[in-house]
């Protein structure tokens, strides 16, 4: 016999776990995981040339923002008390190397400055550091003449992009491209240029996932094909430890697991071993699935959203990127 086995000692139930479930007050006191607005991050899309926000069909309730509506969304996020925003830009013009990503007047860089001004000290402004929204082929990096994603040539573009984002006022750069060595390349250029205060969030364990589907619509993605030569194989759990170890060694301040719900085992592994904070990204497809089922009346929307984010926290995420961040913060306020 190992440890405490109450059913052997007390067949009539001296130990009754239901005691702690009997009232709302008892359940609240004994909850082993909590979700707090401060640990939520809201992803936001801003599209060049829009006058009004444009709905994203596959993500009901989420929009592509205009420059003005983005400012309002950041103010609302600060008001809601969430921890941060993650910005994605959708440019009007794309090319092979993603020139708009490094142009100080590019849609994302302008949005970073606007958001940082709006946020003040109230929340952390983070920017997606990846080329896929900016390239005409839709890949996260630049291509070799024969069409493969060129890792080391891409690092040069990421370094330039990191500088543009830091100069625009980003507090955190989110490296989502899954190139080898991207964290070191970006950390080095930031430090050399005096931006040692800008933090690096490494999308360390990012899987080649079908759950990014609706995001492709959100950023008008040009991709034809997939990202399996750079994003991780969904079959691999141990490999996440390698990616996380590399990113931490290269100077990552925060590491991420993405997607969240289909990868809670990976998230639990990373949370158990990481020496830096761990983020998880509840991605567009996770959002769309719950919204679609709720719209059909098949699940209770509010309960499903709450449970999904709670499960990601329970698995070990310190912070959660979720499209429900602001609405969820409102519910949490109501309940506290």
Count of residues binding ligand PBG (CB under 6 A)? 10
Site string for ligand PBG, 31-70 (x = CB under 6 A): ----------------------------------------
263 binds ligand PBG (CB under 6 A): no
Direct distance between the N- and C-terminal alpha carbons of the chain, in angstroms, rounded to an integer: 42
Q: Is 121 exposed, middle or buried (0-12, 13-18, 19+ CB in 10 A)?
A: exposed
DSSP letters along 155-218, please?
HHHHHHHHHHHHHHT-SEEEE-S--TTHHHHHHHHHHHTT-TTSEEEEEEEEB--GGGHHHHHH
Binders in 265-284 for ligand PBG, by CB under 6 A? 283-284
324 binds ligand PBG (CB under 6 A): no
Site stretch for ligand PBG (CB under 6 A), options 49-57, 128-136, 145-153, 293-301 = 128-136
Q: Among the options 47, 65, 206, 227, which is catalytic? A: 206
Q: Which helix (H) or strand (E) holds 252?
A: none
Chain centroid offset of residue 239 CA: 20
Report the residue from 64, 176, 308, 322 that binds ligand PBG according to the rule CB under 6 A.
176
DSSP letters along 74-93, please?
HHHHHHHT-SEEEEEEE-S-
230 binds ligand PBG (CB under 6 A): no
Give how far Cα 86 sits from Cα of 6, 104, 122, 209, 215, Å.
48, 18, 14, 20, 14
Minimum CB separation from ligand PBG for residue 15, in Å?
43
151 binds ligand PBG (CB under 6 A): no
Minimum CB separation from ligand PBG for residue 283, in Å?
4
Site stretch for ligand PBG (CB under 6 A), options 65-73, 103-111, 124-132, 188-196 = 124-132
Q: Among the options 258, 264, 274, 326, which is catalytic? A: 258
135 binds ligand PBG (CB under 6 A): no
Q: Is 46 exposed, middle or buried (0-12, 13-18, 19+ CB in 10 A)?
A: buried
Minimum CB separation from ligand PBG for residue 31, in Å?
28
309 binds ligand PBG (CB under 6 A): no
Report the residue from 227, 269, 271, 324 that binds ligand PBG according to the rule CB under 6 A.
227
Q: Tell me which DSSP letter residue 66 carries.
A: P
Chain centroid offset of residue 199 CA: 15
| Pure H helices in the chain | 6-9, 24-30, 67-80, 107-119, 151-168, 182-192, 213-218, 238-249, 264-273, 284-295, 301-315, 325-335
Binders in 179-218 for ligand PBG, by CB under 6 A? 212, 215
Chain centroid offset of residue 179 CA: 17
State how far the Cα of 229 lies from the Cα of 161, in Å rounded to an integer: 22
Site stretch for ligand PBG (CB under 6 A), options 32-40, 126-134, 151-159, 248-256 = 126-134
Is 258 one of the catalytic residues? yes
Minimum CB separation from ligand PBG for residue 247, in Å?
16
Task: State which residue, 132 or 243, has the beta carbon closest to ligand PBG.
Answer: 132
Report the residue from 48, 114, 118, 132 that binds ligand PBG according to the rule CB under 6 A.
132
Catalytic residues: 206, 258
Residues that bind ligand PBG (CB under 6 A): 128, 130, 132, 140, 176, 212, 215, 227, 283-284
């Amino acid at each position: 016999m190992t440890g405490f086995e109450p059913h052997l000692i007390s067949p009539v139930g001296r130990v009754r776990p239901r005691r702690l479930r009997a009232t709302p007050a008892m359940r609240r006191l004994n909850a082993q995981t909590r979700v707090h607005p401060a640990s939520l991050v809201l992803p936001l899309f801003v599209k060049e040339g829009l006058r009004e926000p444009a709905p994203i069909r596959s993500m009901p309730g989420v929009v592509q923002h205009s420059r003005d509506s983005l400012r309002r969304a950041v103010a609302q996020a600060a008001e809601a008390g969430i921890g941060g925003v993650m910005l994605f830009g959708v440019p009007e013009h794309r090319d092979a190397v993603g020139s708009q990503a490094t142009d100080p007047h590019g849609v994302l860089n302008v949005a970073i400055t606007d958001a940082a001004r709006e946020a003040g000290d109230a929340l952390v402004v983070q920017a997606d550091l990846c080329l896929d929204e900016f390239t005409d082929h839709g890949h996260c990096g630049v291509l070799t003449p024969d069409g493969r994603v060129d890792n080391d040539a891409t690092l040069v573009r990421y370094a330039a992009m990191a500088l543009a984002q830091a100069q625009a006022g980003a507090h955190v750069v989110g490296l989502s491209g899954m190139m080898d060595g991207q964290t070191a390349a970006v950390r080095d250029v930031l430090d050399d240029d005096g931006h040692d205060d800008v933090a690096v969030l490494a999308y360390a364990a990012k899987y080649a996932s079908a759950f990014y589907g609706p995001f492709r619509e959100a950023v008008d993605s040009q991709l034809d094909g997939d990202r399996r030569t750079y994003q991780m194989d969904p079959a691999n759990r141990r490999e996440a430890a390698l990616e996380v170890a590399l990113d931490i060694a290269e100077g990552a301040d925060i590491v991420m697991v993405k997607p969240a719900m289909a990868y809670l085992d990976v998230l639990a592994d990373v949370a158990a071993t990481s020496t830096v904070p761990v983020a998880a990204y509840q991605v567009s497809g996770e959002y769309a699935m719950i919204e679609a089922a709720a719209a059909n009346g098949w699940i209770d929307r509010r309960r499903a959203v709450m449970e999904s984010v709670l499960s990601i926290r329970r698995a070990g995420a310190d912070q959660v990127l979720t499209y429900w961040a602001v609405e969820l913060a409102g519910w949490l306020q109501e309940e506290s």
